[in-house]
């Protein structure tokens, strides 16, 4: 079984892929999707969906796990992070993946043995569990921790109930900012949403 773990964010989103074979969890790859903070949130979310779709296409996971929203900075931050998480969940759902959701404290508890572990401790334990030669970037380490948590739980939640859309229909090819807006308007017109 191949698991994709995602640590969503509106500026950077970590991802990590692990394979589960029996009681072994093996590192496949990890990375961070850096989003342009100077661009409008809508454009960043579209970019996030495209780039996460690319990760899904490249690694073909069997299921996914996503970290819940955890914010200490206020309501606005929580709202923006929630929108990024919604974008991630939608992208995973459109690709027909089953998705497990984990709280930050649950991930820390499963990976480090303590629900209040710091980011460095999480990165160290993920590196140890997966026998990585070096600590991954912070957001990638968090995403790998989510994937490891799902692997340890052996959780296989129900797949999205709607049939998955073909990748080209669900997420058309990346475009420039103005061409991207034109494409979205054309799609809305086609669906009868805009005259």
User: Is 13 within the bounds of a domain?
Assistant: yes
195 assigned to some structural domain = no
Note whether residue 92 is domain-resident.
Answer: yes
Specify whether 40 is catalytic: no
Based on the residue annotation, tell me whether 68 is a catalytic residue of this protein.
no
**What is the domain-level CATH number for residue 40?**
3.30.420.10
> What is residue 191's DSSP assignment?
T
- Within a domain: 174: no
Q: What is the pLDDT of residue 69?
A: 76
Per-residue pLDDT of the chain (195 residues; tens, 9 = 90+): 999 999 999 899 999 999 998 888 999 999 999 999 899 999 999 999 999 999 999 999 999 999 987 666 678 878 888 899 999 999 999 999 999 999 988 998 888 887 777 788 888 899 999 999 988 998 999 999 999 999 988 644 433 333 444 443 344 454 444 455 566 666 666 666 655
The catalytically annotated residue of 7, 38, 54, 153 is: 7
194 domain-assigned? no
Q: Of 29, 36, 138, 139, which one is the catalytic site residue?
A: 139
Strands across the sheet with 63-67, in order? Answer: 24-34, 12-21, 2-7, 63-67, 98-102
Q: 113 pairs with which residues across the strands?
A: none
Domain for residue 84, yes or no? yes
Which pLDDT value is given to residue 177? 46
- Domain of residue 109, residue span: 2-161
Whether 182 maps to a domain, the answer reads: no
Number of domains in the chain: 1
- The C-alpha atoms of residue 12 and residue 160 are separated, in whole angstroms, by 25
Is residue 7 annotated as a catalytic residue, yes or no? yes
From 29, 67, 120, 153, active-site residue = 67
Residue 190, domain member (yes or no): no
Short-list 90, 91, 89, 83, CA closest to 54: 91
Report yes or no on whether pTM surpasses 0.85: no
């Amino acid at each position: 079984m191949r698991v994709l773990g995602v640590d969503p964010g509106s500026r950077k989103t970590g991802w990590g892929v692990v394979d589960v074979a029996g009681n072994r969890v093996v590192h496949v790859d990890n990375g961070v999707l850096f989003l342009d903070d100077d661009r409008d949130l809508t454009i960043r979310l579209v970019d996030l969906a495209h780039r996460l779709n690319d990760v899904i296409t490249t690694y073909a996971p069997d299921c996914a796990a996503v970290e819940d929203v955890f914010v200490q900075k206020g309501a606005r931050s929580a709202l923006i992070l929630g929108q990024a998480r919604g974008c991630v969940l939608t992208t995973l759902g459109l690709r027909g993946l089953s998705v497990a959701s984990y709280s930050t404290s649950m991930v820390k508890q499963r990976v480090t043995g303590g629900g209040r572990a710091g980011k460095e401790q999480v990165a160290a334990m993920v590196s140890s569990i997966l026998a990585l030669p070096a600590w991954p970037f912070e957001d990638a380490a968090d995403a790998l921790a989510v994937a490891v948590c799902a692997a340890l739980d052996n959780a296989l939640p129900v797949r999205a109930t709607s049939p998955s859309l073909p990748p080209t229909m669900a997420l058309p090819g990346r475009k420039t900012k103005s061409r991207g807006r034109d494409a979205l308007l054309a799609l809305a017109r086609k669906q009868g949403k805009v005259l």
